[in-house]
Structure 1
Amino acid sequence: MRKITAGLFISLDGVVEAPDQWHFPYFNDEMGAAVDATLGAADTLLFGRKTYDSFAGAWPEREAAGGEDADFAKTLGDARKIVVSNQELEFTWRNSEQLEGDLVDAVTALKNEPGGNIALSGSVSVVRQLLAAGLLDELHLLVHPIAVRKGMRLFDEGETPIPLKLISSETFRTGVLNLVYAPAQSTGSATYDDAKIHLPQSEQ
Protein backbone atom coordinates (compact mmCIF):
# COMPACT_ATOMS: atom_id res chain seq x y z
CA MET A 1 0.00 0.00 0.00
CA ARG A 2 1.29 3.45 -0.90
CA LYS A 3 2.23 5.90 1.84
CA ILE A 4 0.57 9.33 2.06
CA THR A 5 2.54 12.16 3.66
CA ALA A 6 1.51 15.78 4.24
CA GLY A 7 3.96 18.62 4.72
CA LEU A 8 3.02 22.01 6.13
CA PHE A 9 4.73 25.20 7.20
CA ILE A 10 3.20 26.08 10.59
CA SER A 11 3.75 28.86 13.10
CA LEU A 12 4.24 28.39 16.82
CA ASP A 13 0.59 29.33 17.38
CA GLY A 14 -0.66 26.82 14.82
CA VAL A 15 -1.24 29.09 11.81
CA VAL A 16 -0.83 27.46 8.39
CA GLU A 17 -2.44 30.15 6.24
CA ALA A 18 -0.37 32.26 3.80
CA PRO A 19 3.09 30.97 4.85
CA ASP A 20 4.59 33.00 1.97
CA GLN A 21 4.01 36.04 4.21
CA TRP A 22 6.08 34.81 7.16
CA HIS A 23 8.18 31.71 6.54
CA PHE A 24 10.79 32.75 3.94
CA PRO A 25 13.20 34.30 6.49
CA TYR A 26 13.54 30.79 7.95
CA PHE A 27 14.05 28.95 4.66
CA ASN A 28 17.56 27.48 4.47
CA ASP A 29 19.24 24.39 3.07
CA GLU A 30 17.92 22.24 5.91
CA MET A 31 14.34 23.22 5.18
CA GLY A 32 14.90 22.75 1.46
CA ALA A 33 16.05 19.20 2.12
CA ALA A 34 13.01 18.54 4.32
CA VAL A 35 10.62 19.81 1.65
CA ASP A 36 12.36 17.69 -0.98
CA ALA A 37 12.10 14.64 1.28
CA THR A 38 8.32 15.04 1.22
CA LEU A 39 7.49 16.38 -2.24
CA GLY A 40 10.56 15.28 -4.19
CA ALA A 41 10.24 11.69 -2.99
CA ALA A 42 6.65 11.33 -4.23
CA ASP A 43 5.48 10.37 -7.70
CA THR A 44 1.94 11.60 -7.02
CA LEU A 45 0.92 14.94 -5.51
CA LEU A 46 -2.51 15.55 -4.01
CA PHE A 47 -3.74 19.14 -3.78
CA GLY A 48 -6.68 21.20 -2.69
CA ARG A 49 -7.70 23.62 -5.42
CA LYS A 50 -6.28 26.79 -3.81
CA THR A 51 -2.89 25.21 -3.16
CA TYR A 52 -2.83 23.75 -6.66
CA ASP A 53 -3.61 27.16 -8.19
CA SER A 54 -0.71 28.66 -6.21
CA PHE A 55 1.70 25.96 -7.39
CA ALA A 56 0.48 26.01 -11.00
CA GLY A 57 0.81 29.78 -11.08
CA ALA A 58 4.49 29.66 -10.17
CA TRP A 59 6.35 26.40 -10.79
CA PRO A 60 5.89 25.99 -14.57
CA GLU A 61 7.40 29.45 -15.08
CA ARG A 62 10.26 28.63 -12.74
CA GLU A 63 10.99 25.46 -14.67
CA ALA A 64 10.98 27.37 -17.96
CA ALA A 65 13.23 30.09 -16.53
CA GLY A 66 15.98 27.56 -15.85
CA GLY A 67 17.11 29.11 -12.56
CA GLU A 68 18.38 27.53 -9.39
CA ASP A 69 14.96 26.06 -8.64
CA ALA A 70 14.37 24.65 -12.14
CA ASP A 71 15.29 21.07 -11.20
CA PHE A 72 12.79 21.02 -8.34
CA ALA A 73 10.21 22.67 -10.60
CA LYS A 74 10.73 19.90 -13.17
CA THR A 75 10.27 17.27 -10.44
CA LEU A 76 6.92 18.82 -9.55
CA GLY A 77 5.95 19.09 -13.21
CA ASP A 78 6.80 15.46 -13.93
CA ALA A 79 4.78 14.15 -10.97
CA ARG A 80 1.18 13.11 -11.31
CA LYS A 81 -0.93 15.89 -9.79
CA ILE A 82 -4.46 15.21 -8.52
CA VAL A 83 -6.65 18.14 -7.51
CA VAL A 84 -9.58 17.94 -5.08
CA SER A 85 -12.37 20.33 -6.05
CA ASN A 86 -16.14 20.45 -6.30
CA GLN A 87 -15.85 22.65 -9.38
CA GLU A 88 -15.01 21.38 -12.84
CA LEU A 89 -11.41 22.38 -13.56
CA GLU A 90 -9.27 22.94 -16.64
CA PHE A 91 -5.51 22.44 -16.47
CA THR A 92 -2.51 23.91 -18.22
CA TRP A 93 0.19 22.34 -15.99
CA ARG A 94 1.16 18.94 -17.36
CA ASN A 95 0.22 15.70 -15.63
CA SER A 96 -2.69 17.34 -13.80
CA GLU A 97 -6.12 15.79 -13.28
CA GLN A 98 -9.15 16.21 -11.06
CA LEU A 99 -10.06 13.74 -8.35
CA GLU A 100 -13.20 11.85 -9.32
CA GLY A 101 -15.85 10.91 -6.78
CA ASP A 102 -15.81 10.93 -2.99
CA LEU A 103 -12.50 12.02 -1.46
CA VAL A 104 -12.15 9.18 1.04
CA ASP A 105 -13.17 6.49 -1.45
CA ALA A 106 -10.93 7.88 -4.19
CA VAL A 107 -7.88 8.27 -1.94
CA THR A 108 -8.39 4.79 -0.52
CA ALA A 109 -8.33 3.43 -4.06
CA LEU A 110 -5.30 5.58 -4.86
CA LYS A 111 -3.40 4.13 -1.90
CA ASN A 112 -4.07 0.64 -3.22
CA GLU A 113 -2.75 1.39 -6.72
CA PRO A 114 0.82 0.48 -7.67
CA GLY A 115 3.25 3.36 -7.32
CA GLY A 116 5.41 5.38 -4.97
CA ASN A 117 4.61 7.84 -2.21
CA ILE A 118 1.70 10.28 -2.38
CA ALA A 119 2.42 13.74 -0.95
CA LEU A 120 0.44 16.82 0.00
CA SER A 121 1.74 20.33 0.53
CA GLY A 122 -0.56 22.76 2.29
CA SER A 123 -4.11 21.80 1.24
CA VAL A 124 -5.30 22.05 4.85
CA SER A 125 -8.91 20.98 4.27
CA VAL A 126 -7.73 17.83 2.49
CA VAL A 127 -5.22 17.07 5.24
CA ARG A 128 -7.93 17.41 7.88
CA GLN A 129 -10.24 15.03 6.03
CA LEU A 130 -7.54 12.42 5.45
CA LEU A 131 -6.48 12.59 9.11
CA ALA A 132 -10.08 12.13 10.24
CA ALA A 133 -10.49 9.17 7.86
CA GLY A 134 -7.26 7.52 9.01
CA LEU A 135 -5.72 7.72 5.54
CA LEU A 136 -2.74 9.96 6.31
CA ASP A 137 0.40 8.00 7.19
CA GLU A 138 2.72 10.86 8.16
CA LEU A 139 2.24 14.53 9.05
CA HIS A 140 5.41 16.59 8.53
CA LEU A 141 5.27 19.90 10.39
CA LEU A 142 7.93 22.58 9.96
CA VAL A 143 7.23 24.59 13.12
CA HIS A 144 8.51 28.17 12.81
CA PRO A 145 9.53 30.14 15.91
CA ILE A 146 7.01 32.90 15.27
CA ALA A 147 3.49 33.62 16.51
CA VAL A 148 1.63 34.86 13.44
CA ARG A 149 -1.50 35.61 15.53
CA LYS A 150 -3.97 35.58 12.65
CA GLY A 151 -5.09 33.16 9.98
CA MET A 152 -6.36 29.63 9.69
CA ARG A 153 -4.97 27.04 12.09
CA LEU A 154 -4.19 23.47 11.13
CA PHE A 155 -6.69 21.95 13.53
CA ASP A 156 -10.20 23.34 13.67
CA GLU A 157 -12.88 22.94 16.31
CA GLY A 158 -14.19 19.41 16.56
CA GLU A 159 -15.62 16.80 18.88
CA THR A 160 -13.17 13.95 18.26
CA PRO A 161 -9.51 14.22 19.34
CA ILE A 162 -6.85 13.08 16.88
CA PRO A 163 -4.04 11.25 18.72
CA LEU A 164 -0.62 11.35 17.08
CA LYS A 165 2.81 9.95 17.88
CA LEU A 166 6.11 11.71 17.23
CA ILE A 167 8.35 9.52 15.05
CA SER A 168 11.20 11.95 14.41
CA SER A 169 12.33 15.46 15.31
CA GLU A 170 15.10 17.80 14.21
CA THR A 171 16.03 21.37 15.11
CA PHE A 172 17.28 23.55 12.25
CA ARG A 173 19.84 26.32 12.70
CA THR A 174 17.03 28.86 12.26
CA GLY A 175 15.14 27.47 15.23
CA VAL A 176 12.56 25.73 13.02
CA LEU A 177 11.50 22.33 14.33
CA ASN A 178 11.05 19.55 11.78
CA LEU A 179 8.52 17.25 13.43
CA VAL A 180 7.16 14.09 11.84
CA TYR A 181 4.02 12.54 13.31
CA ALA A 182 2.06 9.38 12.56
CA PRO A 183 -1.43 8.35 13.67
CA ALA A 184 -1.56 6.80 17.14
CA GLN A 185 -3.94 4.77 19.19
CA SER A 186 -6.05 6.62 21.73
CA THR A 187 -4.16 7.49 24.88
CA GLY A 188 -7.12 6.43 26.99
CA SER A 189 -8.32 8.33 30.02
CA ALA A 190 -6.44 9.47 33.10
CA THR A 191 -6.87 11.85 36.02
CA TYR A 192 -4.60 13.95 38.18
CA ASP A 193 -4.47 11.07 40.65
CA ASP A 194 -2.92 8.92 37.91
CA ALA A 195 -0.42 11.61 37.00
CA LYS A 196 0.71 12.80 40.43
CA ILE A 197 2.78 9.69 41.07
CA HIS A 198 5.20 11.03 38.46
CA LEU A 199 5.85 14.28 40.36
CA PRO A 200 9.17 14.59 42.22
CA GLN A 201 8.88 13.10 45.70
CA SER A 202 10.60 14.67 48.70
CA GLU A 203 12.96 12.46 50.60
CA GLN A 204 11.79 11.55 54.07
Structure 2
Amino acid sequence: MAQLSITTFVTLDGVMQAPGGPNEDTSDGFDLGGWSVPYGDDDFGRFMNEVFERAGAFLLGRRTYEIFAGYWPKVTDPADPIASPLNTLPKYVASTTLDKADWEGTTVIGGDLVKEVTAIKERTDGELQIHGSSRLAQSLMQHDLIDTLNLLVFPVVLGKGRRLFAEGAVPTAFRHAASRTTGAGVAIHTYELEGRPQYGTYELDESA
Protein backbone atom coordinates (compact mmCIF):
# COMPACT_ATOMS: atom_id res chain seq x y z
CA MET A 1 0.00 0.00 0.00
CA ALA A 2 1.37 3.39 -0.99
CA GLN A 3 2.02 6.37 1.20
CA LEU A 4 0.26 9.42 -0.21
CA SER A 5 2.58 12.42 -0.21
CA ILE A 6 2.31 15.99 -1.39
CA THR A 7 5.31 18.03 -2.45
CA THR A 8 4.52 21.69 -2.84
CA PHE A 9 6.16 25.10 -2.92
CA VAL A 10 4.88 27.75 -0.53
CA THR A 11 5.83 31.30 0.36
CA LEU A 12 6.42 32.48 3.92
CA ASP A 13 2.78 33.56 4.05
CA GLY A 14 1.58 30.19 2.76
CA VAL A 15 0.80 31.01 -0.88
CA MET A 16 1.28 28.12 -3.30
CA GLN A 17 -0.27 29.58 -6.46
CA ALA A 18 1.73 29.72 -9.71
CA PRO A 19 5.28 29.19 -8.43
CA GLY A 20 6.66 28.31 -11.86
CA GLY A 21 5.72 31.23 -14.09
CA PRO A 22 3.49 34.28 -14.61
CA ASN A 23 1.03 32.40 -16.83
CA GLU A 24 0.89 29.19 -14.81
CA ASP A 25 -2.25 30.08 -12.85
CA THR A 26 -3.81 33.53 -13.10
CA SER A 27 -7.14 32.55 -11.55
CA ASP A 28 -8.75 35.16 -9.29
CA GLY A 29 -6.55 37.79 -10.93
CA PHE A 30 -3.28 36.44 -9.52
CA ASP A 31 -0.42 38.34 -11.16
CA LEU A 32 2.62 37.33 -9.10
CA GLY A 33 3.43 33.97 -10.70
CA GLY A 34 6.98 32.72 -11.03
CA TRP A 35 8.11 33.55 -7.51
CA SER A 36 10.00 30.26 -6.98
CA VAL A 37 12.17 30.47 -10.10
CA PRO A 38 15.03 32.64 -8.73
CA TYR A 39 15.69 30.04 -6.02
CA GLY A 40 16.10 26.97 -8.27
CA ASP A 41 19.69 25.99 -7.40
CA ASP A 42 21.46 22.61 -7.36
CA ASP A 43 20.31 21.82 -3.80
CA PHE A 44 16.72 22.35 -4.86
CA GLY A 45 17.22 20.10 -7.88
CA ARG A 46 18.78 17.31 -5.82
CA PHE A 47 15.85 17.26 -3.41
CA MET A 48 13.30 17.12 -6.21
CA ASN A 49 15.20 14.27 -7.86
CA GLU A 50 15.11 12.35 -4.57
CA VAL A 51 11.34 12.84 -4.36
CA PHE A 52 10.71 11.53 -7.86
CA GLU A 53 12.94 8.49 -7.23
CA ARG A 54 10.39 7.31 -4.64
CA ALA A 55 7.35 7.64 -6.90
CA GLY A 56 5.12 4.70 -7.70
CA ALA A 57 2.31 6.74 -9.25
CA PHE A 58 1.08 10.33 -9.45
CA LEU A 59 -2.20 11.94 -8.43
CA LEU A 60 -2.82 15.40 -9.85
CA GLY A 61 -5.51 18.04 -9.93
CA ARG A 62 -6.77 19.14 -13.34
CA ARG A 63 -4.82 22.40 -13.53
CA THR A 64 -1.53 20.83 -12.42
CA TYR A 65 -2.12 17.94 -14.81
CA GLU A 66 -2.56 20.34 -17.73
CA ILE A 67 0.63 22.23 -16.79
CA PHE A 68 2.64 18.99 -16.51
CA ALA A 69 1.11 17.44 -19.65
CA GLY A 70 2.03 20.52 -21.64
CA TYR A 71 5.72 20.18 -20.76
CA TRP A 72 6.99 16.82 -19.52
CA PRO A 73 6.00 14.57 -22.46
CA LYS A 74 8.30 16.75 -24.59
CA VAL A 75 11.28 15.79 -22.38
CA THR A 76 12.17 12.45 -23.95
CA ASP A 77 15.54 11.69 -22.34
CA PRO A 78 14.97 8.35 -20.52
CA ALA A 79 17.66 9.32 -18.00
CA ASP A 80 15.91 12.52 -16.94
CA PRO A 81 15.15 11.96 -13.21
CA ILE A 82 11.82 13.78 -13.33
CA ALA A 83 10.55 13.27 -16.88
CA SER A 84 11.20 9.52 -16.85
CA PRO A 85 8.93 8.64 -13.90
CA LEU A 86 6.30 11.15 -14.98
CA ASN A 87 6.15 9.74 -18.49
CA THR A 88 6.27 6.05 -17.57
CA LEU A 89 4.45 5.61 -14.24
CA PRO A 90 0.66 5.60 -13.77
CA LYS A 91 -0.94 9.01 -13.48
CA TYR A 92 -4.38 9.83 -12.10
CA VAL A 93 -6.05 13.18 -12.65
CA ALA A 94 -8.94 14.12 -10.37
CA SER A 95 -11.48 16.05 -12.41
CA THR A 96 -15.21 16.31 -12.97
CA THR A 97 -14.74 18.23 -16.23
CA LEU A 98 -12.19 16.13 -18.17
CA ASP A 99 -13.61 13.26 -20.21
CA LYS A 100 -10.23 11.86 -21.21
CA ALA A 101 -6.53 12.55 -20.76
CA ASP A 102 -4.13 12.38 -23.70
CA TRP A 103 -0.92 11.93 -21.70
CA GLU A 104 -0.02 8.26 -21.97
CA GLY A 105 -0.64 6.30 -18.78
CA THR A 106 -3.20 8.75 -17.39
CA THR A 107 -6.58 7.82 -15.91
CA VAL A 108 -9.27 10.37 -15.11
CA ILE A 109 -10.98 9.81 -11.78
CA GLY A 110 -14.13 11.49 -10.52
CA GLY A 111 -17.15 10.61 -8.49
CA ASP A 112 -16.35 9.52 -4.93
CA LEU A 113 -12.84 10.98 -4.63
CA VAL A 114 -12.15 9.52 -1.18
CA LYS A 115 -13.15 6.01 -2.26
CA GLU A 116 -11.16 6.18 -5.50
CA VAL A 117 -8.00 7.59 -3.92
CA THR A 118 -8.15 5.02 -1.13
CA ALA A 119 -8.36 2.26 -3.74
CA ILE A 120 -5.41 3.72 -5.69
CA LYS A 121 -3.32 3.85 -2.50
CA GLU A 122 -4.09 0.20 -1.81
CA ARG A 123 -2.92 -1.02 -5.22
CA THR A 124 0.17 1.21 -5.57
CA ASP A 125 3.68 0.41 -4.39
CA GLY A 126 6.08 3.16 -3.32
CA GLU A 127 4.70 6.67 -3.02
CA LEU A 128 1.53 7.96 -4.57
CA GLN A 129 2.64 11.54 -5.15
CA ILE A 130 0.72 14.79 -5.42
CA HIS A 131 2.58 17.81 -6.76
CA GLY A 132 0.94 21.21 -6.43
CA SER A 133 -2.81 20.59 -6.90
CA SER A 134 -4.01 22.78 -4.03
CA ARG A 135 -7.74 22.08 -4.25
CA LEU A 136 -7.19 18.33 -4.55
CA ALA A 137 -4.83 18.38 -1.58
CA GLN A 138 -7.29 20.35 0.54
CA SER A 139 -10.05 17.87 -0.25
CA LEU A 140 -7.92 14.89 0.72
CA MET A 141 -6.62 16.51 3.91
CA GLN A 142 -10.22 16.88 5.05
CA HIS A 143 -10.23 13.07 5.26
CA ASP A 144 -6.67 12.51 6.62
CA LEU A 145 -5.66 10.80 3.37
CA ILE A 146 -2.32 12.60 2.92
CA ASP A 147 0.37 10.84 4.92
CA THR A 148 3.40 13.04 4.18
CA LEU A 149 3.88 16.74 3.47
CA ASN A 150 7.04 17.98 1.75
CA LEU A 151 6.83 21.75 2.11
CA LEU A 152 9.45 23.83 0.30
CA VAL A 153 9.22 27.23 1.95
CA PHE A 154 10.59 30.09 -0.15
CA PRO A 155 11.80 33.32 1.49
CA VAL A 156 9.11 35.41 -0.19
CA VAL A 157 5.92 37.11 1.03
CA LEU A 158 3.23 37.81 -1.58
CA GLY A 159 0.24 38.94 0.43
CA LYS A 160 -2.28 37.28 -1.89
CA GLY A 161 -2.89 34.03 -3.73
CA ARG A 162 -4.24 30.55 -3.06
CA ARG A 163 -2.93 28.92 0.11
CA LEU A 164 -2.47 25.26 0.95
CA PHE A 165 -4.03 25.59 4.41
CA ALA A 166 -7.12 27.64 3.76
CA GLU A 167 -9.71 28.90 6.22
CA GLY A 168 -11.75 25.96 7.49
CA ALA A 169 -9.00 23.34 7.30
CA VAL A 170 -9.46 20.40 9.66
CA PRO A 171 -7.25 20.81 12.77
CA THR A 172 -4.45 18.31 12.22
CA ALA A 173 -1.18 17.48 13.97
CA PHE A 174 1.98 16.42 12.13
CA ARG A 175 5.37 15.08 13.18
CA HIS A 176 8.39 16.96 11.86
CA ALA A 177 10.41 14.20 10.16
CA ALA A 178 13.22 15.95 8.27
CA SER A 179 14.55 19.33 7.19
CA ARG A 180 17.27 20.94 5.14
CA THR A 181 17.97 24.36 3.67
CA THR A 182 19.17 25.01 0.15
CA GLY A 183 22.01 27.37 -0.67
CA ALA A 184 19.48 29.83 -2.07
CA GLY A 185 17.54 29.86 1.20
CA VAL A 186 14.61 27.48 0.57
CA ALA A 187 13.67 25.68 3.81
CA ILE A 188 12.53 22.14 3.04
CA HIS A 189 10.46 20.45 5.73
CA THR A 190 8.93 16.97 5.76
CA TYR A 191 5.99 16.25 8.04
CA GLU A 192 4.22 12.96 8.79
CA LEU A 193 0.53 12.78 9.71
CA GLU A 194 -0.07 12.31 13.44
CA GLY A 195 -3.80 12.90 13.90
CA ARG A 196 -5.68 15.52 15.88
CA PRO A 197 -3.83 18.27 17.78
CA GLN A 198 -3.47 18.23 21.53
CA TYR A 199 -4.13 21.37 23.55
CA GLY A 200 -2.88 22.87 26.77
CA THR A 201 -2.53 26.19 28.54
CA TYR A 202 0.21 28.44 29.93
CA GLU A 203 -2.23 30.00 32.40
CA LEU A 204 -1.45 29.59 36.08
CA ASP A 205 -3.62 27.16 37.98
CA GLU A 206 -4.91 29.50 40.68
CA SER A 207 -6.65 26.63 42.48
CA ALA A 208 -3.33 24.97 43.33
Is TM more than 0.5 here?
yes
Give the C-alpha shift of residue 168 in structure 1: 0.8
Give the C-alpha shift of residue 115 in structure 1: 2.3
Aligned to 1:157: 167
Deviations 1:28-63 (A, max 9, x none): 121112222223321210000000000001111232
Residue-pair matches, total: 192
Q: TM-score, normalised by structure 2?
A: 0.85
Highest CA radius of gyration, 1 or 2?
Answer: 1
Distance between the aligned counterparts of 1:189 and 1:43, measured in 2? 37
Aligned to 2:8: 8
Give the C-alpha shift of residue 157 in structure 1: 0.7
Give the C-alpha shift of residue 159 in structure 1: 6.2
Larger mean CA deviation between 126-135 and 186-195 belongs to 186-195
Distance between the aligned counterparts of 1:194 and 1:59, measured in 2? 58
Residue of 70, 76, 79 corresponding to 2:89:
79
Larger mean CA deviation between 159-168 and 1-10 belongs to 159-168
Alignment of 1:1-204 (within 5 A): 1-20=1-20, 21-63=34-76, 66=77, 70-158=80-168, 160-193=170-203
Distance between the aligned counterparts of 1:93 and 1:77, measured in 2? 8
Contact 2:101 2:108 in 1 (8 A): no
Aligned to 1:202: none
Contact 1:40 1:76 in 2 (8 A): no
- Over the aligned positions, Cα root-mean-square deviation in angstroms equals 2.1
- Secondary structure at the counterpart of residue 157 of structure 1: coil
Contact 1:5 1:140 in 2 (8 A): yes
Distance between the aligned counterparts of 1:159 and 1:54, measured in 2? 26
In the alignment, structure 1 segments of 5+ residues that lack a partner are 196-204
Q: Which amino acid aligns with 1:133?
A: H
Deviations 1:81-133 (A, max 9, x none): 10000113322211111114311101111111152211010011111122221
- Secondary structure at the counterpart of residue 30 of structure 1: helix
In the TM superposition, structure 1's runs of 4+ consecutive aligned residues that sit over 4 Å from their partners are: none
Larger mean CA deviation between 183-192 and 89-98 belongs to 183-192
Distance between the aligned counterparts of 2:52 and 2:154, measured in 1? 19
Q: Which amino acid aligns with 1:35?
A: M
More helix by share: 1
Distance between the aligned counterparts of 1:114 and 1:46, measured in 2? 11
